[in-house]
Structure 1
Amino acid sequence: MKINWGTGIVIGIAAFICFIMFFVIKMSTNDKYSYDLVVEEYYKKELAFQQEIDAEENLKLLTEKIKEERTNEGWLFSFPKEINLDKVSGTVFLYRPSNKQLDFQFPLKFSGSNLLIPNKRLVDGRWNINITWDYEGKKYLFKKEILH
């Protein structure tokens, strides 16, 4: 059977469409290639964005800054001495941009004026940490990107 150039073009286009459709279907149905939103309930989070900005500004008003360092036990955050840690209540949220199943949150608990996030809780890679707390009627927010 002889194939002319018009038939060859149609066959080539059909083969290309089938090739592309194969990968589109494979990528959208396979859990290995899952894609998640960066943040759940994005619009609700945007409405609270000004409160986050105000909390970060409150953090800048402290005389000492929060210091962080990686130790053998994990990530150590040192809080300013001017804060009475008995009056602080808050949470620590660790967010993994590449996999939301690894995200976790726990209440803010100090050891002296330090907060330790143990290595066993962190998988290697990039983490975004948000420490939020209330102190004397003001909200504070510390954000940091760490590489573990």
Structure 2
Amino acid sequence: MNWGTKIFLILAVFMLCIVAAGFYMVTQDTDSLEEDDYYEQGLNYDQAYEKKQNVLSMKETPTVELRKDTLYIHFVSKVNKGKLLFRKPSDSKLDRELPFQTTGNVLALPISTFDKGMWNLYVDWKSEGKDFLFEEHILF
């Protein structure tokens, strides 16, 4: 086999790999973006940043505890109202948004209907006239 044939075979294998990778990417159903409205969220990031800073400055960091099939979120304040956003990084169709209101420090949420795996929990709430945003990664 002479050097011209070897170069031809190497280029043919390389082009075949490029075509196969392109075909694989086109046939994939999922998008690598976690959020569809990332542009709008980017425009509103100042509000989210301020909410996160409120959590840090007011020492309002909730604690998240998982026991059996129940997720417990312990708040510092007694009266809290907001929403829980559960995002599954591997499948956005499983994302859930749940409103909540507490009259005590603890919010108990049954999680038996959630798929097992990694979840991103966003707790967006209002307490004593201030807005807060807390993020936690949980593994069910």
TM-score bracket for this pair, using the shorter chain length: 0.7 to 0.9
Which residue identity does 2:138 align to in structure 1?
A: I
Structure-2 residue corresponding to 1:39: 35
C-alpha RMSD of matched pairs (Å): 2.4
Q: Distance in 2 between matches of 1:53 and 1:23?
A: 39
CA drift of 1:47 comes to 1.7
- Per the normalisation by structure 2, the TM-score is 0.81
Which one has the bigger strand percentage? 2
CA drift of 1:37 comes to 0.7
Identity percentage of aligned residues:
29
Correspondent of 2:109 among 114, 117, 139: 117
Does the Cα contact within 8 Å between 2:64 and 2:72 map onto a contact in 1? yes
- Unaligned 5+ segments in structure 2 are none
Structure 1 stretches of at least 4 aligned residues deviating more than 3 Å after TM superposition: 61-65, 109-112
Q: Which moved more, 1:96-105 or 1:55-64?
A: 55-64
Structure 1 residues 17 and 63: alpha-carbon distance in aligned structure 2, compared to 1, 3 A threshold: closer
Structure-2 residue corresponding to 1:137: 129
Correspondent of 1:69 among 65, 69, 84: 65
Structure-2 residue corresponding to 1:49: 45
Which of the two has higher C-alpha Rg? 1
Which residue identity does 2:122 align to in structure 1?
A: N
- Per the normalisation by structure 1, the TM-score is 0.78
Query: What is the number of residues matched between the two proteins?
Result: 140
